[in-house]
Amino acid sequence: MENIYLLASFWFLAAVLSTILANRLKISIALMEIMVGAVIGYAAYKFHLTDNLSLNADWLKFCTGVGAIMLTFLAGAELNPDAMKSKIKEVTVIGLIGFFAPFMGCSLIAYYLIGWNLQASLLCGIALSTTSMAVVYAVMLEYGFNQTDFGKGVLGACFINDLGTVIALGLIFAPFTYKTVIFIGTTIILILFLRPMTHYIIKRFAYKTAAIRAKWVIFILLSMGVLALWSGSEPVLPAYIIGMVLARTMERDGHFGRRLRTLTVGFLTPLYFLRAGALVSIPALLAAPFVFLLLFIGKVISKIFGLYPAIHHFKDDKKEKWYYTLLMSTGLTFGTISALYGLTNNIISQEQYSLIVGAVIASAVIPTLIANKFFLPGHLLEPPVLDDQAADEKDIIRKL
């Protein structure tokens, strides 16, 4: 047991150092945690200590999995359905293009230029078609864009993009069974009844018991996560939908939302981002740098050429257009999930998996660094002055 405590303290020391470095270098905390994790992973490989990091330990995979679920839930909770009605055309068009452009581009690159077989090429296209909801929302929350119409549009487009990825993975590779029907049916029932059930619990028990709202939400998220895994889907998908269902509830109850954000950003997501970086096999990338670069460049270029003209139709400001485009070019959660699915089911080899995941994580870091450095649309945050809730969120981020 003391080994688990030792490892946990080590990872949180890395999280503290990442936060300090991010503050000094003016880089997003999430991205710095990924980079620090990659350095730790490479150092462990060089000194033959990779096993000591316990990257595949059940407790660490559980914490990082819950971190991805919670971060996705909070991203969905930012999207009030009333506010999204006016953006339905924008998020649908941009989200679909954000999926189809890299899916087709990267599949063709893998098949014709790299020489992979058809199944491996299609899996590669699916993995590189994603947009990282985890990275995008972490950046939105850190800078305060989650409170703006611009940020809500980006998050909505991310959801449509990743929904396309999940559907494509299911249609091409995963069988449609009675389990899928049960999962879809349960999700529909939850959409209809979760909000009134939550309101009853809040009215009857909130402010009289210890954090029952948080316990209720975590119970629902984990339960739907189990059902999603059982049906062959992924637990982050229902988490996003649950977040959207409870968006109005979270909006009215600021303290409830802030507590969940503190738990997520302070405890869970540092482990998620650090582990994601540590899982990158730098030796595998160095062994085939041309293939890695081809996949990475193929993903980003196909995203940019597909998305920028579409975003230009909805946005006028140059910084907003490029920031939107570059954030939509990121990848992490669904990309690594898709690659792992391919490896587990013998669709791709270990070497192909490392190359795809390396390209996915590089796309999480490099486009976001460029976006925050050169195209940050700071004018969206001044004025109006951030409200008290947004200010509290920024204080939480600074303290973390």
Question: What per-residue confidence (pLDDT) applies to 189?
Answer: 94
Question: What per-residue confidence (pLDDT) applies to 389?
Answer: 52
Architecture of domain 2-399: Up-down Bundle (1.20)
What are the structural domain ranges in the chain? 2-399
User: Cα-flanking dihedrals φ and ψ of residue 153, to 5°?
Assistant: -65, -45
Q: Inform me whether the pLDDT recorded for 207 exceeds 80.
A: no
Beta strands in 142-276 (DSSP E): none
Structure tokens at 306: 């597909």
Structure tokens at 116: 């992979």
The residues, ordered by sequence, that sit 6+ positions from 36 with a Cβ below 8 Å of its Cβ are: 14, 17, 18, 21, 274, 277
Question: What per-residue confidence (pLDDT) applies to 400?
Answer: 40
Other Cβ atoms within 10 Å of 248 Cβ, number: 15
Structure tokens at 196: 């009134």
Q: Distance between CA atoms of 350 and 339, rounded to whole angstroms? A: 10
Packing angle between helix 350-374 and helix 133-143, nearest 10 degrees?
20
Q: What is the Cα 160 distance to its own chain's centre?
A: 13
Q: Distance between CA atoms of 264 and 123, rounded to whole angstroms? A: 30
Question: What per-residue confidence (pLDDT) applies to 397?
Answer: 44
Question: What per-residue confidence (pLDDT) applies to 384?
Answer: 46
Question: What per-residue confidence (pLDDT) applies to 392?
Answer: 52
pLDDT tens, residue by residue, 279-322: 878 888 888 899 999 999 999 999 999 999 999 999 999 999 99
Mean pLDDT calculated for residue range 201-205: 85
pLDDT tens, residue by residue, 164-193: 888 888 788 877 789 989 999 999 999 999
Weakest-pLDDT range from 99-113, 142-156, 331-345: 331-345
Confidence of residue 383 (pLDDT cuts 50, 70, 90): low
Mean pLDDT calculated for residue range 89-104: 95
| 39-45 contacts at long range (C-beta below 8 A, 24 or more positions apart) | 39/277, 40/14, 40/274, 40/277, 40/278, 41/277, 41/278, 41/279, 41/280, 41/282, 42/282, 44/278, 45/281, 45/282, 45/283
pLDDT tens, residue by residue, 386-399: 445 555 555 544 44
Q: Distance between CA atoms of 104 and 217, rounded to whole angstroms? A: 37
Other Cβ atoms within 10 Å of 43 Cβ, number: 13
Residue among 381, 265, 237 nearest 30 (CA): 265
Q: Distance between CA atoms of 255 and 299, rounded to whole angstroms? A: 39
Q: What is the Cα 28 distance to its own chain's centre?
A: 14
Mean pLDDT calculated for residue range 140-163: 88
Element (H, E) at 242: helix 236-245
Whether 396 and 261 have beta carbons less than 8 Å apart is answered as yes
Mean pLDDT calculated for residue range 255-261: 81
Question: What per-residue confidence (pLDDT) applies to 260?
Answer: 87
Alpha-carbon separation of residue 295 from 119, 289, 321, 335, 352 (angstroms): 16, 10, 24, 13, 11
Q: Distance between CA atoms of 116 and 378, rounded to whole angstroms? A: 43
